[in-house]
Amino acid sequence: MTQENRSIDIARDVKESVIIPGNSNTATITITNYYYQEHTKVKPVESTDAVDDNLPCPYRGLFHFGPDDAEFFFGRDVFIQELYQATKSRNFIPVLGASGSGKSSVVLAGLVPKLQQEGRWLFTHFRPGSDPFHALALALVPLYTKNLDGTEKIIQARKLSQSLINGEIPLLDVFAQIHQNNPTHRVLLIADQFEEIYTLCAEQKIRHSFLDTLLASFSSSPAQSQSNHVLITTMRADFLGNALSIPQFGDLLQNGDVKIRSMNREELTQVIEKPAEKLRVSFEAGLVERILNDVDCEPGNLPLLEFALTELWKRRNGKQLTHAAYEEIGEVQGALARHADENYRKLSQAEQEQVRRIFIQIVQPGEVTEDTRRLATKEE
């Protein structure tokens, strides 16, 4: 099991409004159908004179950064600008990177707030899951049919999903309706964790049909510059071979993907130092260098770094992060294992058995590729 799979990714299907903290010209970002972890939200900074115990944690643990965390998101300026420029001339932008390299964070906490500053954008979000047509429909229905209650939204999404599967309604017609309702806006459709079409969608026929539907509506060519609708997909690079097996998708990836590399030392320094600086919290002399030396060049260590910084923050001494606290949490490599073992030991034997079953349910075993995480409902 990978380190990122040790956390239970409990998500909700919501329409979220977000205020970017620290900005005098506060703007509301609405991402339709955005999945988020509400119990790990970063709270806005209310005052620089706040009592130490009330300071919000600027680090994100094992979770990705979202638009409400934009003030504390650092180290990805190059890729944010690259994605921003791509939205000017392309309407299908695949984002590839290793597991744990921060693909979702770059899009949600980097690109989306930057586009919001530009204005006249609608944002909607989905993850393919086991039923990609339905997931796509849930993301699009609220953009062209307003004021639906929860039940009506489900009904309309099922209708749209079936119509897309049967070819009764081209996806372009859906975007045309959205544009008719919002003639001055462009739509950014975010397809996060796109490898789920291979890990969770069991039917090859549905998978190919879904890709055909998307590719028929999004094709990055100069003639379609400044399209009214843009699709961004985030996908693990180890699924590139699966994508290349479909010629049309492969052509698109060869000519127009954005690859997220691992962070260099300067960028990792920003990730460590700048969120704390925002809250006027400092690191003990030599601690930042020590943490940097403990972080390998492997992209998957980024979540481990964020988790260690989150644990370190909990043990800060006033407004300083110390070597002693860093050793107490087990440093970068041991922080997650220490935290997991500590909490596991607190459980009864029956609860430990329940945890074992939960871990099995939230992992999708890979045959050729690595194991991947799988969403599990509370009911499961």
pTM of the model: 0.81
How does pLDDT run across 84-140, given as a tens digit for each residue?
A: 999 998 889 999 998 888 999 999 999 999 999 988 999 999 999 999 999 999 999
Yes or no: say if 249 and 210 are a contact pair by the CB < 8 Å rule.
no
Please report how many Cα atoms fall inside a 13 Å half-sphere around the Cα of residue 121, on the Cβ side: 26
Beta bridge partners of 31: 16, 123
Q: Quote the CA–CA distance of 368 and 67 in Å, as a whole number.
A: 34
Yes or no: say if 127 and 191 are a contact pair by the CB < 8 Å rule.
yes
Candidates 211, 192, 18, 252; CA nearest to 113 is 18
Predicted local distance difference test score (pLDDT) of residue 72? 95
Please say if the pLDDT value at position 30 is more than 70. yes
Yes or no: say if 54 and 280 are a contact pair by the CB < 8 Å rule.
no
Predicted local distance difference test score (pLDDT) of residue 334? 87
How does pLDDT run across 265-320, given as a tens digit for each residue?
A: 999 999 999 999 999 999 999 999 999 999 876 557 888 999 999 999 999 999 99
Joined together, the tokens standing for residue 234 give 């985030």
User: Which of the 8 DSSP states describes residue 283?
Assistant: E
What are the sequence ranges of the domains in the chain? Answer: 3-73+263-373, 77-260
Q: Which fold has domain 77-260?
A: Rossmann fold (3.40.50)
Yes or no: say if 164 and 171 are a contact pair by the CB < 8 Å rule.
yes
Predicted local distance difference test score (pLDDT) of residue 83? 95
How does pLDDT run across 198-220, given as a tens digit for each residue?
A: 888 889 999 999 999 998 888 65
Q: Quote the CA–CA distance of 12 and 2 in Å, as a whole number.
A: 23
CB under 8 Å to 212, separation ≥6 — which residues? 248
